[in-house]
Amino acid sequence: MVDMQRFLDSSAALDKPALLRGRMARYGYLYLPGLLPAGIVHDMHAAILNICIRHGWLDTQGHPRDSARLEGSPEFFEVYDDVQRLEAFHAFAHRPEVLHVMELLVQEAVLVHPRNIARISFPHAEHFTTPAHQDYVHIQATPETYTAWTPLSDCPQSLGGLAVLAGSHKLGLLPVHKASGAGGLGIDTEGIDLLWRTADYRAGDVLIFHSFAVHEALPNRTVDRVRLSTDYRYQGISKPIVSDGLEPHYGRLGWPEIYKGWQRDDLQYYWRKMPLKTVARDPSFHANAAEKK
Ligand SMILES: O=C(O)CCC(=O)C(=O)O
């Protein structure tokens, strides 16, 4: 494995907008330890863990009962559809602590993408670890989109947190090849003279990165723990967004089905009140991806 350096901690820049933006411009990421209250993160973890337990994936201690459930496989959706129905999972994308950082970055009103994503990463599934990639090929429309990745528990390197190739957002878009793991597209990073950085994350830490920043997950090398995390996306409202970016992740359930039984109205269809410009998705990244070497 490539040697990993530690992230630069940008917490002290939270009340210094120019410094915060400067860090993003220079490194392509902001590592913000303890940005979120740990209790809120624990509640989110418990809510998703309980869905996994209810569907028999995990025992009551949270240990896998069986082999890994891989994202995108038919059995994955037994759990994932229920995660998508969770109001708290969508509300979590609107946390004021994260919105504040996004406002400082985009310097206008923020669009929280409604297409929210949770990851459930099993041990003994190293081949399915999220490969090195840039989010832009999946998000498209504007490079000025930022991802907030949040582990829902303490996440030491052994549990498989996210790593960033610091400064890689300045390399432009890199060629992709087909790969296994979330997103299905990978980048060959050998020969790029930049450092991989990561952290032993604690619950409450948030990693924010630019859509051109190359990042990957570390393999979950624990014996019996799943890594749960969320990844949410944000951009300025004046920037375009692809139409399906306003649809639920995987598009299996519609919003009316997801919204059944929700308490809060303001989190439903909120983007329809915004003057958004939507554009068509460019399918060529997937269509033209080289076969894996
Ligand atoms: O959590 C993961 O394994 C993948 C997350 C990711 O690549 C992202 O947030 O863009």
Give a three-class secondary structure readout of 23-43.
HHHHHCEEEECCCCCHHHHHH
15 CA distance to ligand 1 centroid (A)? Answer: 27
Among 133, 229, 234, the mutation site with the greatest number of ligand 1 atoms within 8 A of its Cβ is 229
| Closest atom of ligand 1 relative to the 217 alpha carbon | 3
Atom of ligand 1 nearest to the CA of 130: 3
pLDDT at 19: 98
Residue identified by tokens 């059995």 is: 75
pTM: 0.97
Q: Which of 48, 152, 215 to mutate to test the pocket of ligand 1 (most atoms within 8 A of CB)?
A: 215
Kindly report, residue by residue over 70-107, the tens digit of the pLDDT. 999 999 999 999 999 999 999 999 999 999 999 999 99
Q: What is the pLDDT of residue 275?
A: 96
216 close to ligand 1 (CB < 6 Angstrom)? no
Nearest-atom index, ligand 1, CA of 149: 9
How many whole angstroms from 228 Cα to the centroid of ligand 1? Answer: 11
Any ligand 1 atom below 6 A from CB of 231: yes
pLDDT in the model for residue 190: 94
* 69 to 35, 53, 57, 249: CA distances (angstroms): 30, 13, 8, 18
The pLDDT of residue 13 is 98
Q: Which atom of ligand 1 is nearest to the CA of 231?
A: 9
Q: Is the CB of 71 under 6 A from ligand 1?
A: no
Give 250 Cα–ligand 1 centroid separation in angstroms: 15
Digitized pLDDT (tens) for each residue of the chain, 293 residues in all: 567 899 999 999 999 999 999 999 999 999 999 999 999 999 999 999 999 999 999 999 999 999 999 999 999 999 999 999 999 999 999 999 999 999 999 999 999 999 999 999 999 999 999 999 999 999 999 999 999 999 999 999 999 999 999 999 999 999 999 998 888 899 999 999 999 999 999 999 999 999 999 999 999 999 999 999 999 999 999 999 999 999 999 999 999 999 999 999 999 999 999 999 999 999 988 888 887 76
| 263 neighbors 87 (Cβ within 8 angstroms) | yes
Q: Is the CB of 129 under 6 A from ligand 1?
A: no
Rounded to the nearest angstrom, the gap between the alpha carbon of residue 48 and the centroid of all alpha carbons in its chain is 15
Strands 206-210, 146-151: parallel, antiparallel or unpaired by DSSP? antiparallel
AA identity, residue 221: R
pLDDT computed for residue 54 by the predictor: 97
Domain topology for 5-287: Jelly Rolls (2.60.120)
As given in the structure block, the two tokens for residue 71 are 């994202």
| pLDDT value for 1 | 57
